[in-house]
Amino acid sequence: MSIVSERTLTVLLIEDDPDYAELVRVWLEPNEDITFVLKWTDSLMEGLNTLARGGVDVILLDLGLPDSQGYETFTKAKTYAPAVPVIILSSSDTESLAVRMVQEGAQDYIVKSTCKPALLSKALQFAAVRRSGPAAGALAEAVSYKTRIIGVMGSKGGVGATTLACNLAIELRRQTNEPSLIMDMNLDGGLVSFLMNTVSEYSILDAVSNVHRLDRSFWSGIVAHHASGLDVVRSPGLVGSGHPSLDGLRHVLTLVRPFYQWIVLDLGKLTEVSLHLLARVDELLLVTTTSVPGLYEAKRTIAALRTAGFEGDKLRLIVNQLGNSQDFRGSELDRVFGVPVYAKLSGASRDLHDASVRGKPAAEHSEFRAEIANLARKMGGIAPKERRKNMISQIFSFAQ
């Protein structure tokens, strides 16, 4: 009788030896007790791509892969699928390392040279039992990251999306006092590092090309550190410099997610790159103005997002009043877009111009920053600060 109640288990084998992969396939051929569905990849990156699509019950993981070696192989797989049990495929000379990984969260390990069909089948079934047992809920809660990823996208160029992204990231860091990151994913833009007045030798391209070694220590050498305590990753910022693979960008985002409470992505406009990253975004702030071109492009972007299957409850419409366009009431804009206005920002063209000239975010005590602070508090579930009553109101209150 099968150890698990499910009669089908999907197993992801990450193993670079095709002969051994074929042997595992033969060992897991269907029998009367249970059916194993085997998915095989010969590199960690391809394995992560498979995990990203979901539907894997157990991971069989070789430690020596072309693009990853040893302990980092295990940590990356667990980061990508923290609730999926991992069984280490170990050689005899890496058994001590496999034992360490079991102590740090691997479900089990099997020495490849002594593995047999019955042993492998039972190990996979036991791993599935532990995954679905009484502790499964507690495990899922323990490994689920609290990180919130906020995408910021402009309906078109010049609506202030990058400015909002930079100031929002600073305020999320300041209001919540939690580790925070801003990543410039507008790959041809490069304005984030300019507005934040940060300098780094490295860009997101360097992170992608070194994703196989991207642990916390390596990552700290790529980011720049803003005076507010915010980490900043710049884009290459050069038109024609070449774009990294879309999967590579997604891998970087997934692997660094455990390091932060807040990650703000400056996505630029709706492009193939930004659309690909939306699957990782918890909330998307779509920034527009009330100029006719801004309204038109915002409506087109919303329609494109819906066509692409982006969930409407994640979309937040931000109306940035730059001072040179007609003002609209929120209810009027709701009717235009079919999406409620999440926030309206006052015109602050002079403050933002001065900030750009200085190469800094908006002044901390400016009206624009105050409104961004309230937006950050709203997103962080923090009660908004009450505005101080003016002197006349205080006098009347005292008289009463």
Task: Give the model's pLDDT for residue 102.
Answer: 87
> What gap in Å lies between CA 183 and CA 253, rounded to an integer?
9
Q: Are strands 68-69 and 64-65 parallel, antiparallel or unpaired?
A: antiparallel
- Give the number of other CB atoms < 10 A from CB of residue 89: 23
Residue that is last in its domain, among 94, 118, 143: 143
388 found inside a domain? no
Residues 98 and 72 in one domain: yes
> How many domains, in total, are found in the chain?
2
303 & 372 share domain: yes
Could you count the other beta carbons within 10 Å of the beta carbon of residue 309? Answer: 8
> Which tokens hold the place of 63?
């430690």
Q: Choose the final residue of a domain: 143, 164, 184.
A: 143
* Residue-by-residue pLDDT tens, the chain, 400 positions: 444 445 788 999 999 999 999 999 999 987 667 889 999 999 998 998 888 888 899 999 998 899 888 888 888 888 888 889 999 998 777 778 888 888 888 888 898 888 888 899 989 988 888 766 544 444 444 444 588 999 999 999 888 899 899 999 999 999 999 999 999 999 887 789 988 989 889 999 999 988 877 888 899 999 999 999 999 999 987 655 567 788 889 889 988 988 999 999 999 999 988 998 998 899 999 999 888 888 899 999 999 999 998 888 899 999 987 555 556 655 677 777 778 889 888 765 565 556 555 656 666 677 888 889 999 999 988 876 654 444 444 444 434 4
pLDDT on residue 138: 42
Full residue range of the structural domain in which residue 132 is found: 8-143
Q: Is residue 188 part of a domain?
A: yes
Does residue 1 sit within a domain?
A: no
CA distance 400 to 398: 5
Residue 296 belongs to a domain with what CATH number?
A: 3.40.50.300
On whether both 111 and 220 belong to a single domain, the answer is: no
What local confidence, expressed as pLDDT, does residue 321 receive? 74
Residue with tokens 């419409």: 317
In a domain, 396, yes or no: no
CB atoms within 10 A of CB 1: 5
The verdict on 19 and 101 lying in the same domain is: yes
CA count, 13 A, side-chain hemisphere, 312? 9
Taking the complete model, does pTM exceed 0.85, yes or no? Answer: no
Q: Which amino acid is at 53?
A: R
Which one, of 247, 238, 228, 111, lies nearest residue 180 by Cα?
Answer: 228
Burial class (CB within 10 angstroms; exposed 0-12, middle 13-18, buried 19+) of 378: middle
Residue 395 inside a domain? The answer is: no
Domain boundary among 108, 143, 178: 143
> Degrees (nearest 5) of the Cα angle 162, 163, 165?
60
Residues 157 and 244 in one domain: yes
Residue 57: per-residue pLDDT = 92
In a domain, residue 183? The reply is yes
Q: 96 CB contacts (<8 Å, ≥6 apart)?
A: none
* Predicted local confidence at residue 90, as pLDDT: 84
* Dihedral sign of CA atoms 266, 270, 274, 275 in order: positive
Show the 3-state SS of 309-327: CCCHHHEEEEEECCCCCCC
Same domain, 111 and 222: no
| pLDDT (0 to 100) of residue 232 | 97
Query: What pLDDT shows up at residue 49?
Result: 86
Question: Do 130 and 252 fall within a single domain?
Answer: no
The answer to whether position 399 is within a domain reads no
Q: What is the dihedral of CA 186, 187, 190, 193, to 10 degrees?
A: 80
240 and 258 belong to one structural domain:
yes
Comparing C-alpha atoms, which of 355, 345, 273, 282 is closest to residue 315? 282
Whether 170 and 131 share a structural domain: no
Which helix H or strand E contains 204, and what residues bound it? Answer: helix 204-209
Query: What is the rounded distance in angstroms from the CA atom of residue 253 to the CA atom of residue 52?
Result: 12
The CA distance from 52 to 44, in Å, is 12
Q: What is the CATH number of the domain that holds 103?
A: 3.40.50.2300
Residue 90 lies in a domain: yes
Both 76 and 154 in one domain: the answer is no
On whether both 28 and 85 belong to a single domain, the answer is yes
pLDDT of residue 344: 87
